[in-house]
A and B are shown apart, each in its own frame.
Chain A
């Protein structure tokens, strides 16, 4: 910490004061509008204009630990999505499209209408096209279809590979891509996409990044050299420093490059894929602290607050990669995906932790309207600390090193436009939980190794 940067707090505005928040009635009105549009058969192509949309409402109820939504232990309906996609073909080989999305998942989204993707597409040839704008980020087979409930039997994608906490900023980038499809008779199809761009983090004040800022402040407050710096700066003997949270958070990933390949061999229902990206993140926020101290000269007690204006946390995201295989034929489907993520930084002993995750999933369409599915997903914060020994040495429980999730689900296609999903998860470990959502009244962590959660979701799509 740079003690020169320390100064008294000047600003009291909350982190959300500059942001547009829609009243709850707006998404509901939008939903009704979509339903109306659907029922009037407005959906579908209208000359060159194509419109599609979806509305969903979910429910999450966890045992033991809070996950994804605050107060999930009591059951929460803060889990909904509304999307409208429009596409138009202004000229041969060209297309312009946009999707508006409003979603809520606990602290994430909060039903603010955002542009999910919006881009121009020049499809010069089937084996070479160009897109520019806000584009879906290819990672694994299913990152680009996270919004598309109809595409899978599960409410939540396996968290070992598709971490829901970072979905808000990890689904789309702003930039440009080259893409195409190469077809050779004995080999099958090869789809490729290479891209450059930037990533925008829409709401860093809460959720994943909020936890990082909060934790950075708490770590500093507990650091003895930081305490000494503060004492020297103010001429006091510091007795106690506590973190007072943070304001003005900013997170940017100023550049990223990456690519994805999908090979579809001439075997019905089989495909393989891989993706890779490299990036850099820059995060900053004003960290607030409260100090209890004694004046070095007079010995009088002092209580004051101060803040550190701009402690930058920045590092290279060395790589985020995935490998995927899928087999889907007739009523059956199975998928296996694996990810390794080196997002930079060092742990307490100077190593760079590499996050690892994989899952195996399967589903079976039992009846025309009923599909059952299951997956087993595994996740480690650091692949070199699978048993949590290092976490334990640092004062954390060993089960904070991983999060493994067994899920079973049932999907009901109530009509061609309506679907309902129900699923139960049994979880070992708390590696992906939000610390701030799992504390007792005294700020002590209140997380249990074995826990479970139930998720349900109803979706209308056209």
Chain B
């Protein structure tokens, strides 16, 4: 959309006007200079080769293995059906090191970027995020009881009653 103007010429020059923004400019410059030395190396790629995460699913799921890209598409809600056309019910942990490993190693995103992605989906009405659990035990129990569900736990956690899915890279 366009609007026209009714401004009349003014001879007034550029008056300097101090706002709080001047302080911000200085802050930004300082912070930028500090950034010459990279402070954090929590890149997803740093630890991508090995993962501490095992993928589990409800026994009703007939899939035995998934490619990383498929898992990414499931957790970004771009793929919502199993090959037999049943609904995929994705689950996740609310936080912790296993959640971090899963998001960074397998979804290849930072935890905050993943959270932001889902905020955008929620606040534009395009979907709801994976069902989130506080503990691995709660997640395993839900996956064991919910047809079509998929989740992840530590490879050291015993997973009775669920179906393991191999990850293909």
Contact = CB atoms under 8 A, between A and B. Distances in A.
A416 B115 contact: yes
B122 A448 contact: no
Contact of B122 (A85, A136, A410): A85
Contacts of B5: 381, 391, 396, 400, 430-431, 433, 435
Which interface class (under 10, 10 to 19, 20 to 34, 35 or more) fits B?
A: 35 or more
Contacts of A290: none
A324 to B, nearest CB: 15
A171 B12 CA distance: 37
Interface string B105-123: 0001010110110011011
A354 B22 CA distance: 35
A366 B128 CA distance: 30
A92 interface: yes
A126 B127 CA distance: 13
Given A44-B132, A422-B24, A119 B110 contact: no
B156 interface: no
B1 A145 contact: no
A44 B16 CA distance: 48
A119 to B, nearest CB: 6
Given A83-B123, A85-B122, A150-B119, A424 B112 contact: no
Contacts of A347: 4
Contacts of B87: 92-93
Contact of A447 (B10, B28, B45, B129): B10
Contacts of B123: 52, 54, 83, 85, 99, 145, 147-148
Contact of B6 (A44, A45, A445): A445
A189 B78 contact: yes
18 contacts: A62-B19, A92-B87, A97-B125, A98-B125, A145-B123, A320-B1, A355-B1, A366-B39, A372-B28, A381-B3, A381-B5, A391-B5, A397-B9, A413-B112, A448-B10, A448-B15, A453-B21, A456-B20
Given A396-B7, A410-B31, 13 more contacts: A52-B122, A54-B123, A165-B3, A331-B43, A368-B40, A381-B3, A410-B24, A424-B21, A424-B24, A433-B7, A448-B14, A452-B21, A454-B24
Please provide the 9 A-B residue pairs with the shortest distance between their CB atoms, ordered closest to farther: A63-B17, A424-B21, A454-B21, A400-B5, A450-B14, A435-B6, A97-B125, A50-B128, A445-B7
